[in-house]
Structure 1
Amino acid sequence: MTSANLTRDETAARAAGIRLHTIDVELDLRGARDADAATFGTATTLAFEADVDATWIDFIGASVDAVIVNGEERAVDWDGARVHIDDLAAHNTVEIRGTGRYSTSGEGLHRFVDPLDGEVYLYTQYEPADCRRVYPCFEQPDLKARWRFAVAAPAGWQVLSNGAEIDREAVAGGVRVRFAETLPLSSYITAVAAGPYHRVEGVWEGPSGAVALGVLCRASLASHLDADEILDITRRGLAFFGEAFGLDYPWGKYDQIFVPEYNLGAMENPGLVTFTESYVFRGASTAAQHEARANTILHEMAHMWFGDLTTMRWWDDLWLKESFADFMGAHAAVVAGGFPDAWVTFASRRKGWAYVQDQLPTTHPIVADIPDLEAAKLNFDGITYAKGASVLKQLVAFVGEEAFFRGARRYFADHAYGNTTLPDLLAALESASDRDLRAWSAAWLQTSGISRLAVEPVADGALALAQSDPRPHRLTVGLYGRDGDRLVRRRGIELDVTAERTTLDASLADEDIVLVVPNDDDRTYAKVRLDDASTDAAAAGLATIDDALARAVVWAALWDATRDGELPVVRYLEIVRRHAPAEPNVALLADALAHADAAIGHYAAAEARSDLAARWLEACWQALWTADAESDAQLAWARAVAAAASRAAGRADELRAILAGDAAGPDGLRLDHELRWMWLTALSATGRLTAAEADAERDADPSSQGRTAHLTVLAARPDSAVRAAAWHAAWDDESLTNERLSATIAGARAGDARRFLAEFDAEYFARIAPTWASRSIEIARRLVVGLFPASDSLDLVDAWLAEHADAPGALRRLVIEQRDGLARDLRVRAAQPRT
């Protein structure tokens, strides 16, 4: 383990001997516009008390040029990650000056050059531990400080940090901007952004006074920024959370900035929230996309309390912020954000992510064991976010919504600006609800795995609810009958269950019940398996169920059965083909279409795949032409055509003609740059597009998004030399930024990639350990996951795991998870019925 990989034990020991007060940061970004800019000046002054003689300060940069301790310049003792300091006094002021490196991986201070106008944009991203790439700091969440920033940058730039700007003065080569001192913050949520960003201002009149709002993006995206909608959601959220949590937004101004080449959806830096600019819609967008953006805005806003105001002591309790923010994002979207179906989307997408993660051999409790930072980096997963949020939804049902929020208010009042662990939260909720939560916590937060719920006949038509891996659930079993061709809910049976088997107050002999859906209101967290008769009923009438949440549970159950090899791929595709065109919820529609594509690519028997791909393309094509003009469904089907057409070339001529303007597309379909690139990638993957045609499209769309998509299109051509060049460029071309790396990998893996990449299987396993050691964890993760061989054998991966038992735990985790996915693919393919 290198010194950069901080451990839980050593950071706890450091915190025990240090009481941190303030940190002053000076950044010099005036040279950022130079074409060859690689480094920037950075200086930090830390004021703290110490009960120890020595400690270290974290910094990963280009150089440490001076270390001054209590006015005395010291010899630099820096190993590339830690600046070691001894002879500390009771009260200390430590100044460290050096140079940092600009990033192209989205970690630290990312530097991006807009190809449209040549302008340079900078932003920071730190979680969990990349603040130290920009300025020296104590890189652990339980050493909070009041931060004061000063940033020198080119004149005319927007310059932002957590606090409000309080002074701007001209200096040689630019301006120096100072910001207001923050309230106590952990290092990972401090932030800086600079560049000629386009800004839209607003204000929220809160109970405690006006809060200045800002929405920013690159200047070349300004025409696409729907700032009014973003500001509206922001005002709604600030009002809701302030009232719900009993404390108005405490961090001063509220800027939200959409940034390029971002690794995450968003990050909750107080006063300067960063978002992926994928949320600035360049093309047509569905209601589900707007809901997702609103959910993310509200998720990050919830962090202003859960995570920023009260912060976990170490990354074991990451769930104390992420699970709560994930829950609050959906909850607030429903009650305050204007998106009443947010829990439907959550049931389909977020819980689906959790279900997949929780069935991996690397699953872990929500309250996880995180020994070091590498483990923390990989724990931003479906367990910590979506399973945690699902469990909180169950907790709210268990203690009552009023008691839950009463407990949250007490939690914030008791621990504002401090650090917490699980017992702190449980104490607040127990006090508010008069419920003993120790058993609940043990069952849900401190164990791993997932229950499976199924309704089974007992005798004489009686029914029982069976669960594997028993846990306490509060749920409803929905009973559905037929009304003509429609499935209609007759009644629901509410249950509190803990046992492996619970008899239901229902009998198929006495009631007109054809479909039984456990957890049809999606209150608990569990796999749902439909019995054979219910599967038949769903196959016949799924789209006729009125309640979208119930449809989400049924769609998820059918997909889970397909992933487990219990529902044949052919039958699943038939269900999607029959019911997706009538699915009114665009999020459920989009998920069903994506799952159909995945079923063909991963789970279909090899001998059936080509025929299924061709038939699926035809189904998507017909649905596209019959969808309502300008509807969300039409756009969803157009995107599904792109995915299907990368596997089958049956509509290549029509796609080419529509793209060229030689034939009309479906009435009302907006053929914008985003959709054009999707279709062009599909044509390239099937050999129906030339490099010259791809170049012409890039010239028509010279934006950064266009140039990135062009990279994918070129790499997707079904030529052995092209795919080999893309595969090797991904590993060897270190000039590729994070997004351009992903675009290269996507091209190499497009369509029928296996016949081109199989020859590199052994080389993949020879490369991953050296790559992990030499590249940043973000870049290495993209390579390890993105280029994992889609082999028909587990031999090579098993051999690597056996031979690399001492490999870094985070790398082994990724390989183990990819192995599990491949094993599932092979197992489910083998289970497909042969015709």
Structure 2
Amino acid sequence: MADLNLTRQECARRAEQVRLLEHHVRLDLRHAADPAEKTFESRSTVRFTATDDASWIDIVAQEIVSATLNGTALDVSGYDGARLPLPGLAPVNELVVHARCLYSRTGEGMHRFTDPSDGETYLYTHFEPTDSRRVFAVFEQPDLKCRFTFEVVADARWLIRSGQSEVSRREYDGLADVRFAPTPLQSSYVTAVAVGPYHLVTDLWSVDRAGGTRHEVPLGVMCRASMADHLDAEDILQVTKQGLRYFDELFGFPYPWGKYDQIFVPEYNIGAMENPGLVTFVESFVHRGQPTLPELASRAEVILHEMAHMWFGNLATMRWWDGLWLKESFADLMGYQASVEATGYTSGWTSFAIGRKQWAYTQDQLPTTHPIAADILDVEAAAQNFDGITYAKGAAVLKQLQAYVGRDRFDDGVRRYFAQHAYGSTELEDFLEPLSAASGRDLSIWAQAWLRTSGPSEISAEAREDRSEDVLVVRQATPETAGAAVDPRPHVFSVGVYTEKDAALQRTQLLRVGLDGPSVEARLDRAVRDSPDLVLPNDEDFTYAISRLDPGSQETAHRLLSTVPSEVSRALIWSALWNHTRDAQLCPVRFLETVRGQLITEGSSFLLQSVLAMARSAVHHFLQGDDQRRTATDLARLAHSRMTQTTGDVQLVWARALAWFGALTPDVAPLIQPLVTEDQPPPWLNVDHELRWSFVTALSATGARPRTLLAQDLRRDFTMSGQTSYDQALASLPESEAKAQAWHSLADASGAGLTNDRQRALIVGFGQPVSSDLTREYAEPYFDVLTTVWAQQSQTMASRFVSGMFPAPQASDDVTADDEPVVVMARDWLRRHDEAPAALRRGVVEGLDDVERTLRVRAAR
């Protein structure tokens, strides 16, 4: 395979030598509906200046048909599958590259999908970080911005879309040749094309400007035709309009990309992508069943995240991928902030506290953690860092920066940043400088403490050791992570003091704390100084730190957590208890007892969904044998009971929890079986396609749903989602044959016939814990095939295999890591493969750390 890596050093040199003038791309997709056609024609015409006589252009193609440079045929024999050398450059050049590029089934480049429901074909592109070169010849780096003009030839019946509006169309022989307006200056990785019989809903957003002018932005929402009945375009468009109004006012810079299309596409690799004028989203945001409020809120947050990128990332763009964190962290923060401040989805900070930040804490405790502002030497390293540090930790740290400098000053600095760097390429210092100017604070020390170091801070608050009851000592610790100690960071946050009254907790004081060393003292009010019942560090969630509850606060939380009035505060307490559990400081059985006792009256579907997911993880990973089965049965029966006694969102969350826990134990199959009976559905629960497949998969995992019935389930729902759900249910069966079939598909080094959606489904099904005895035999083969899979599959697919198929611990009793067979195998593999690609080694290191953590928690029970 061609070497697809690009280094920061060589790209920086190319940026000094080359300046792009214009770029025209013509894509001929006339044969896209023919599955026998594996390629499409791509023609790039690039005008650029050069100060050196040689460079290269990036192109990943099946074949370069021809190339000309300044009207002269270019020798393409030096093409290596990734780079086409460009010798003999003039001061001003015109390069034309005609290539045949491959359609993708893995979400990279030009993805092609055939809908099993109606046989229709759909195309869309995805290019981040460096896959535009899979579709056209391009200078593939973010700081070489250009004005791109796209021209697409395709079936005239199809919708043909790109980032800019259509300016001309010529139809002939059933084809349409569509040309789009040139883009403003932008990076190649955010260009986009979508083609197919997409369903389209249109609207318009407008704002009146000073001087009597009106700024209008045409809106479009698209999905597959077979999903049109499920498309909630009204809500999507409402959130879009609310977001455009919010960011227009907040950023003080008019939306710069003309139209605003949003398209929901099948088999997408990620959640969404911020292509200006044509934002792509994973199709799971189009709900075939009844969505919960958290799911609708999550979609709104992602819509607003991508919208924030229209300014931060697209208008002002990082120069290289070491700035990836800043664009993603900023957009992540803005997605939650805008949802709370501009839409009806006002529980965003609850989700942020208990969900998004938990991702960050988990990632930040791994041996592979890295500073937020990581040193990204090449594209392979960049691809590894689309992680919880880049997104969630960075967003949490920027939220802390808002508290540190003040919200108004932060917003003022952001507006200055856009005004100074519109359509340009920037470094971190370009962002910090206007913030420093707006706030009057030198942020270099802050940036060093927060952005150049790794590992989470830990904060705690408790009575002073001399037992003075009117003083709390607030402490921070920064444990050694990745072998390096971290100095105390500057924090601004609040400490909540809670007192029990009438069997409920009330917040009786909120202390604002500035902490820039190991500790600081905070004085309690006289009215609450007599032994507060619960002290919550980082109440209201301003900073990024793992909160440690003192023993008395833990005991109070076990009894009264559900009575805390604030949803965000309850989320923070649950997060603290979960981190105590993961860090082997709290017995998982005790955590699960708190779940059973405190969730019964919880009315927030946001908290229910997150805490029940934690509970499932605890049962799955930290309990074994009879303990696991018994606890899963108890929780499944609780879920069934609550499901029959509640309605709406809360009922649906409990119903899904029944499927989660039901997949861990065969003892509740009789409770689930009636829910999938076709002739007598329960009148008190809406069992839609999505929920029904959850129940079917749970039954399959415990052997209570045979293959013959699964085949009937597929015929009942012969759609893309139905097929992937069937694949997952089939792989879930506790049968040797089912595991062997799934393994063969997943471990096929070429990945032949394996789409990203099917891969995800098979991985989940294969790893069902009830089948652990059957999957144990695949531990050694897993380590045997790693390097082959990595060499022959795309990095995205191979990374998913490495992490998703990492073997579970095999020892049935509590053992030390040295005695666990999987640990021994993983350590041996790492020792023998010290020259393996860094991304592959990272996956194995993280899998090993997860197993070792599991063993620590089990041993601490």
Give the shorter-chain TM-score range.
over 0.9
Tell me, yes or no, if structure 1 residue 438 matches structure 2 residue 439.
Answer: no
Give how far 1:751 is off. 3.5
Tell me, yes or no, if structure 1 residue 161 matches structure 2 residue 168.
Answer: no
Tell me, yes or no, if structure 1 residue 705 matches structure 2 residue 740.
Answer: no
Q: How does 1:164-563 map to 2 (within 5 A)?
A: 164-207=165-208, 208-457=214-463, 458-460=465-467, 461=469, 462-469=471-478, 470-506=488-524, 510-511=529-530, 513-563=532-582
How many angstroms apart in 1 are the aligned matches of 2:734 and 2:322?
A: 45
Give how far 1:651 is off. 2.1
Q: 1:581 aligns with which of 577, 583, 600?
A: 600
CA shift in 2, pair 1:79/1:634, >3 Å: same
Give how far 1:172 is off. 3.8
CA deviation string 1:189-211 (max 9, x = no partner): 00000000000000001234211
Q: Which amino acid aligns with 1:560?
A: N
Residue number in structure 2 paired with 1:41:
41
CA deviation string 1:42-70 (max 9, x = no partner): 01011110011111111111111111000
Residue number in structure 2 paired with 1:766:
784
Instruction: Tell me, yes or no, if the aligned pair for 2:2 and 2:80 is still in contact at 8 Å.
Output: no
Give how far 1:403 is off. 1.2
Give how far 1:338 is off. 2.0
Q: How does 1:580-659 map to 2 (within 5 A)?
A: 580-606=599-625, 608-627=627-646, 629=647, 631-659=648-676
Instruction: Tell me, yes or no, if the aligned pair for 1:451 and 1:526 is still in contact at 8 Å.
Output: yes
CA deviation string 1:214-265 (max 9, x = no partner): 0000000000111111111111111111111111100001000000011111
Please give the TM-score of this superposition, normalised by the length of structure 1.
Answer: 0.98
Q: Which amino acid aligns with 1:8?
A: R
Q: 2:739 aligns with which of 716, 723, 731?
A: 723
Give how far 1:283 is off. 0.1
Instruction: Tell me, yes or no, if the aligned pair for 1:32 and 1:120 is still in contact at 8 Å.
Output: yes
Instruction: Tell me, yes or no, if the aligned pair for 2:675 and 2:692 is still in contact at 8 Å.
Output: no
Residue number in structure 2 paired with 1:130:
131
Give how far 1:653 is off. 2.1
Q: Which amino acid aligns with 1:828?
A: V
Q: What is the SS of the residue equivalent to 1:210?
A: strand
How many angstroms apart in 1 are the aligned matches of 2:492 and 2:2?
A: 46
How many angstroms apart in 2 are the aligned matches of 1:611 and 1:459?
A: 45
Instruction: Tell me, yes or no, if the aligned pair for 1:30 and 1:173 is still in contact at 8 Å.
Output: no
Length, aligned pairs only? 829
Instruction: Tell me, yes or no, if the aligned pair for 1:327 and 1:389 is still in contact at 8 Å.
Output: yes
Q: How does 1:24-103 map to 2 (within 5 A)?
A: 24-76=24-76, 77-103=78-104
Q: How does 1:824-835 map to 2 (within 5 A)?
A: 824-832=853-861
Give how far 1:658 is off. 2.6
Instruction: Tell me, yes or no, if the aligned pair for 2:164 and 2:183 is still in contact at 8 Å.
Output: yes
Tell me, yes or no, if structure 1 residue 678 matches structure 2 residue 694.
Answer: yes
Residue number in structure 2 paired with 1:788:
806
Give how far 1:654 is off. 3.0
Instruction: Tell me, yes or no, if the aligned pair for 2:644 and 2:684 is still in contact at 8 Å.
Output: no
How many angstroms apart in 2 are the aligned matches of 1:668 and 1:548?
A: 28
Unaligned regions of 5+ residues in structure 1, if any? none
Give how far 1:657 is off. 2.2
Residue number in structure 1 paired with 2:793:
775
Q: What is the SS of the residue equivalent to 1:752?
A: helix
Residue number in structure 1 paired with 2:147:
146
Instruction: Tell me, yes or no, if the aligned pair for 1:265 and 1:276 is still in contact at 8 Å.
Output: yes
CA shift in 2, pair 1:411/1:611, >3 Å: same
Instruction: Tell me, yes or no, if the aligned pair for 2:57 and 2:138 is still in contact at 8 Å.
Output: yes
How many angstroms apart in 2 are the aligned matches of 1:515 and 1:269?
A: 47
Q: Which amino acid aligns with 1:211?
A: V
How many angstroms apart in 1 are the aligned matches of 2:703 and 2:544?
A: 44
Give how far 1:661 is off. 4.3
Q: What do you get for the CA RMSD once the two structures are aligned?
A: 1.4
Give how far 1:607 is off. 5.3
Instruction: Tell me, yes or no, if the aligned pair for 1:20 and 1:145 is still in contact at 8 Å.
Output: yes
Tell me, yes or no, if structure 1 residue 737 matches structure 2 residue 755.
Answer: yes
CA deviation string 1:81-129 (max 9, x = no partner): 0011100000001010011100000111100000000000000011001
Instruction: Tell me, yes or no, if the aligned pair for 2:59 and 2:81 is still in contact at 8 Å.
Output: yes
Residue number in structure 2 paired with 1:669:
685
* Structure 1 segments of 4+ aligned residues over 6 angstroms from their partners: none
Give how far 1:720 is off. 1.2
Is 140-149 or 459-468 further displaced after alignment?
459-468
Instruction: Tell me, yes or no, if the aligned pair for 1:58 and 1:136 is still in contact at 8 Å.
Output: yes
Give how far 1:507 is off. 8.4
How many angstroms apart in 2 are the aligned matches of 1:535 and 1:2?
A: 55
Residue number in structure 1 paired with 2:817:
none
Instruction: Tell me, yes or no, if the aligned pair for 1:214 and 1:255 is still in contact at 8 Å.
Output: yes
Give how far 1:690 is off. 1.2
How many angstroms apart in 2 are the aligned matches of 1:664 and 1:108?
A: 43
CA shift in 2, pair 1:248/1:311, >3 Å: same
Please give the TM-score of this superposition, normalised by the length of structure 2.
Answer: 0.95
CA deviation string 1:633-681 (max 9, x = no partner): 100011011011111122212322231146663x532100000100000
Unaligned regions of 5+ residues in structure 2, if any? 209-213, 479-487, 811-819
Q: Which amino acid aligns with 1:799?
A: D
CA shift in 2, pair 1:346/1:578, >3 Å: same
Q: How does 1:97-116 map to 2 (within 5 A)?
A: 97-116=98-117
Give how far 1:620 is off. 1.7
Q: Which amino acid aligns with 1:75?
A: D
Residue number in structure 1 paired with 2:829:
800
Q: What is the SS of the residue equivalent to 1:682?
A: helix
Is 504-513 or 808-817 further displaced after alignment?
504-513
Instruction: Tell me, yes or no, if the aligned pair for 1:562 and 1:569 is still in contact at 8 Å.
Output: yes
How many angstroms apart in 1 are the aligned matches of 2:24 and 2:830?
A: 46
Instruction: Tell me, yes or no, if the aligned pair for 2:58 and 2:84 is still in contact at 8 Å.
Output: yes
Q: Which amino acid aligns with 2:281?
A: F
Instruction: Tell me, yes or no, if the aligned pair for 2:190 and 2:276 is still in contact at 8 Å.
Output: yes
Tell me, yes or no, if structure 1 residue 688 matches structure 2 residue 689.
Answer: no
Instruction: Tell me, yes or no, if the aligned pair for 2:305 and 2:334 is still in contact at 8 Å.
Output: yes
% identical equivalent positions? 47
Is 730-739 or 819-828 further displaced after alignment?
730-739
Q: Which amino acid aligns with 1:658?
A: L
How many angstroms apart in 1 are the aligned matches of 2:306 and 2:397?
A: 19
CA deviation string 1:491-547 (max 9, x = no partner): 111110012122221389942510000001100000011111101111111111110
How many angstroms apart in 2 are the aligned matches of 1:771 and 1:266?
A: 26
Give how far 1:763 is off. 1.1
Q: Which amino acid aligns with 1:824?
A: R
Q: What is the SS of the residue equivalent to 2:741?
A: helix
Give how far 1:731 is off. 1.4
